[in-house]
Structure 1
Amino acid sequence: MERFLGMCHRRRYPNKTAIIRPGDSANILYYVIDGSLTVSS
């Protein structure tokens, strides 16, 4: 677990911000700690 947490970064995004766009790398994991998100295509 320590190794995993050492690779994590906490980020905050304003409301309605697109954080993933078509063509972005698929090797990133996002974990939502607080709030909600919408997935659309």
Structure 2
Amino acid sequence: MGSVKNLLDANNAGGGLLGMIKLLPLMNSIMAIDAISSSPSA
């Protein structure tokens, strides 16, 4: 369990950037869906 916590701590410390990179495609698709749904042609 300690190793898992260490892994999570390392992920939070150095993985903040990694998490952002992983979230970029998700955020891009959310923004794209937002733009499509709010466009008058939809």
In terms of Rg, which structure is larger? 2
The answer to whether TM tops 0.5 is no
Of Structure 1 and Structure 2, the greater helix share is in 2
**TM-score calculated relative to the size of structure 1:** 0.28
Give the TM-score, by structure 2 length. 0.28
Query: Looking at both structures, which has the greater relative contact order when contacts are Cα pairs under 8 Å and sequence separation is at least 6?
Result: 2
